[in-house]
């Protein structure tokens, strides 16, 4: 059926929101006095209720019982991806299907989603939903796409999701993700699909647990248990209370220090979600500990310590079908474990040729694939980069971000032409070529909740050089020259000279003991970086959380 035209164009910018003019009940009572947003369907077709599935012959060998899970998040590969969250929203549901989970992924239908996916979406229904504190009503369309056993439901409203990038600025993003969080829950009610678990991701879905346990508390979807996963605590969705209160339409009692309030007059959408989530997870065990400290806690360390009883760390994996050097369609020269040592040299030559670097498979090529922001330790790289240029080392950067770093890497490309290549762009294909063609990958992050680039690089036989923080610490075992073990080179304190030392240790091994280096390449490729183990842990968590039937 053809797509319905988006209805409401009633949205105003947050800055214009007349929150202060609204009369908010002085002491609003919880759920029952608030209009339940169980949407009135106006779809042309009734949506059939989804029956609980009995185990079929196909899934009889899968772990029992089956669990149904709704993923709610702001990005998902291949529809829209700006970083690791997009990878996880794609790969974890796929891995959970293999663990006998019935997964629906709920996403915004951004205009920037490529047409090849938009055209395959099927109209699932539409309704109108109250959102703001003045009861304004907004169109919610649902477009569906089924792929790899996962159902993707896209929440449609052109006014909110018309930008080319999912994240623009908080003035737009706060209303956008208030709408998205509420519409996602209303859509589950509308589709009559009440999952056992609602699994929310990052601040953009932070209001989901808050809505679920307040304005939705008397509706069918409230029987689900809710998990909130922290992929990066740095971004929290903080804005003044008046605006968040206006756009979310949430009652006054939630704008309290225990839930949404922060500082003198701000509301923090992530904080509210953490309060009401039945379980909080984050993407590595080390980061789960780190965020309870002042340095890593981003102002929420005390809140997280208070809720630490329901906080767990489960390390991310990568999709090993998507990231497979033996089948990767982007690579002109594919390789497996048996021919990696030779074929990686060919990939290096192809990369050097493509990027205008001196063609020589004997050079030590260091890759850096990253958002160019302070988090990623780029001030350290910036500081020591000239020290790396010795005629035998080449540096390939791929990333976009802060102009400070973009310009500095452009400068180095100019200053060290033939040895440094700075690709200031977002390019999936080029990322694959760097993972395959580089000898080492740099991840010197200030903090790193999990990090995926070090996992991808190991899978492609590219030795990671990382700082011992968060998931980097949990996934990269340092090279031990005494027993010839380990997966990469690491350093602990956030100091430029320690990074330089780690790179020099890697270079020394590469140039003086290639046999040992090559063994590390093979060890890295053999390391299990798949989602399987972690998907099992998530499933276990889903089983622990019994729905409130």
**Residues making contact with ligand ADP (CB under 6 A):** 83-85, 87, 369-371, 398-400, 426-428, 431, 451-453, 456
> Which residue number, 198 or 431, has a Cβ lying nearer to ligand ADP?
431
Closest CB 238 distance from ligand ADP, rounded Å? 19
Pick between residue 403 and residue 540 the one whose CB is nearest to ligand ADP.
Answer: 403
First to last CA, the chain: 35
Q: Which two tokens stand for residue 431?
A: 């990322």
The minimum distance between CB 281 and ligand ADP, in angstroms, equals 15
State the angle between helix axes of 170-190 and 241-248 in degrees (0 to 180), rounded to the nearest 10.
Answer: 30
Nearer to ligand ADP, 275 or 457 (CB): 457
Q: Which two tokens stand for residue 5?
A: 């035209």
Nearer to ligand ADP, 130 or 328 (CB): 328
CB-nearer residue toward ligand ADP: 67 or 344: 344
In the complex, the smallest distance separating the C-beta of residue 283 from ligand ADP, rounded to whole angstroms, is 8
CA 104 – CA 322 distance, rounded (Å) = 20
Nearest to ligand ADP of 21, 428 (CB atom)? 428
Decide whether 392 or 400 has the Cβ nearer to ligand ADP.
400
- In whole angstroms, how close is the CB of 76 to ligand ADP at the nearest point? 13
What residues does 198 pair with on adjacent strands? Answer: 70, 226
Taking the least distance from each CB to ligand ADP, the nearer of 466 and 509 is: 466
To ligand ADP, the closest distance from the beta carbon of 21 in angstroms equals 39
Residue nearest to ligand ADP (CB): 84
- Exposure string for 521-549, b = 16+ CB within 10 A, e = fewer: bebbbeeebbbeebbbebbebbeebeeee
Place of tokens 């990623």: 376
| Nearest-angstrom CA–CA distance, 444 and 368 | 10
Q: Report the nearest approach of ligand ADP to the CB of residue 535 (Å).
A: 17
Per-residue CA distances from 453 to 183, 435, 456, 508, 529 (Å): 33, 9, 5, 23, 11
* Closer residue to ligand ADP in complex, CB, 250/443: 443
Q: Cα(71)–Cα(108) distance, rounded to whole angstroms?
A: 12
Find the shortest distance in angstroms from Cβ 417 to ligand ADP. 21
The C-alpha atoms of residue 277 and residue 296 are separated, in whole angstroms, by: 21
Q: How far is the CB of 441 from ligand ADP (least distance, A)?
A: 10
For the bound state, the minimum distance from the C-beta of residue 466 to ligand ADP, rounded and expressed in Å, comes to: 11
Distance CA 461, CA 335 (A): 10
By beta-carbon proximity to ligand ADP, the closer residue of 143 and 456 is 456
Quote the least distance from Cβ 317 to ligand ADP, whole Å.
12
> Taking the complex as a whole, how short is the minimal distance between the CB of residue 431 and ligand ADP, in angstroms?
4
Cβ atoms within 10 Å, residue 293: 11
Residue 117 vs 426, nearer CB to ligand ADP = 426
Query: Residue 164: which of 114, 120, 123, 119 has the closest Cα?
Result: 114
C-alpha triplet 531, 533, 535: angle, nearest 5°: 60
CB of 283 within 8 A of CB of 472?
Answer: no
Pairing of strands 261-262, 266-268: antiparallel
C-alpha pair distances (Å), 116 with each of 112, 119, 145, 319, 349: 11, 6, 12, 22, 33
Which CB sits closer to ligand ADP, 37 or 84? 84
**Please, how many CA atoms are within 13 Å of residue 412, restricted to the half-sphere of its CB?**
24
Q: How far is the CB of 402 from ligand ADP (least distance, A)?
A: 13
Answer whether 310's CB lies under 8 Å from 400's CB: no
Q: Which residues pair with 281 in a beta bridge?
A: 229, 312
Q: How far is CA 159 from CA 109, 139, 425, in A?
A: 11, 10, 28
Nearest by Cα to 254 from 235, 276, 236, 237: 276
């Amino acid at each position: 059926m053809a797509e319905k035209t988006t209805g409401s164009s009633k949205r105003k910018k947050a800055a214009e929101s007349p929150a202060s003019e609204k009369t908010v009940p002085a002491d609003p009572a919880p759920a029952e006095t608030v209009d339940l947003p169980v949407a009135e369907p106006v779809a042309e077709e009734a949506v059939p209720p989804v029956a609980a599935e009995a185990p079929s012959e196909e899934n009889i060998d899968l772990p029992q019982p089956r669990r149904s899970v709704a993923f709610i998040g702001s990005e998902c590969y291949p529809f829209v991806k700006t970083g690791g969250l997009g990878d996880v929203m794609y790969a974890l549901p796929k891995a959970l299907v293999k663990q006998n989970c019935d997964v629906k992924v709920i996403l915004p239908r951004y205009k920037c989603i490529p047409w090849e996916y938009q055209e395959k979406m099927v109209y699932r229904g539409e309704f109108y939903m109250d959102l703001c504190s003045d009861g304004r009503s907004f169109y919610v369309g649902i477009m569906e796409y089924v792929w790899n056993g996962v159902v993707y439901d896209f929440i449609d409203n052109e006014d909110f999701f018309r930008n080319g990038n999912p994240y623009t600025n908080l003035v737009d993003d706060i209303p956008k993700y208030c709408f998205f969080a509420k519409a996602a829950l209303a859509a589950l009610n509308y589709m009559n699909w009440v999952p056992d678990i609602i699994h929310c991701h990052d601040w953009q879905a932070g209001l989901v647990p808050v809505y679920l346990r307040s304005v939705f508390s008397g509706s069918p979807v409230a029987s689900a248990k809710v998990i909130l996963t922290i992929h990066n605590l740095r971004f929290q969705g903080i804005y003044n209370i008046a605006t968040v209160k206006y756009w979310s339409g949430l009652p006054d009692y939630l704008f309290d220090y225990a839930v949404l309030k922060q500082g003198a007059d701000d509301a923090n959408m992530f904080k509210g979600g953490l309060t009401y989530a039945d379980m909080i997870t984050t993407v590595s065990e080390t980061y789960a500990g780190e965020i309870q400290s002042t340095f890593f806690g981003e102002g929420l360390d005390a809140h997280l310590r208070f809720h630490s009883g329901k906080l767990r760390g489960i390390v991310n994996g990568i999709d090993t079908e998507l990231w497979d050097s033996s089948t990767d369609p982007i690579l002109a020269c594919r390789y497996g474990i048996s021919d990696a040592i030779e074929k990686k040299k060919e990939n290096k030559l192809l990369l050097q040729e493509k990027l205008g670097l001196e063609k020589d498979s004997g050079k030590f090529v260091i890759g850096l694939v990253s958002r160019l922001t302070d988090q990623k330790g780029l001030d350290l790289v910036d500081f020591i980069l000239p020290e790396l240029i010795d005629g035998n080392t080449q540096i390939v950067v791929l990333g976009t971000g802060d102009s400070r770093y973009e310009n500095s890497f452009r400068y180095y490309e100019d200053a060290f032409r033939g040895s440094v290549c700075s690709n200031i762009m977002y390019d999936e294909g080029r990322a694959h070529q760097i993972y395959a063609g580089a000898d080492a990958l740099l991840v010197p992050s200030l903090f790193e909740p999990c990090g995926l680039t070090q996992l991808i690089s190991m899978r492609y036989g590219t030795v990671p050089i990382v700082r011992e923080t968060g998931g980097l610490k949990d996934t990269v075992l340092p090279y031990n020259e005494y027993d010839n073990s380990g997966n990469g080179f690491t350093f602990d304190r956030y100091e430029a000279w320690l990074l330089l030392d780690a790179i020099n240790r890697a270079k020394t091994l590469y140039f003086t003991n290639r046999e040992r280096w090559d063994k590390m390449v093979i060890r890295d490729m053999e390391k299990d970086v798949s989602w399987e183990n972690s998907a099992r842990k998530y499933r276990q968590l889903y089983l622990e959380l019994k729905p409130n039937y």
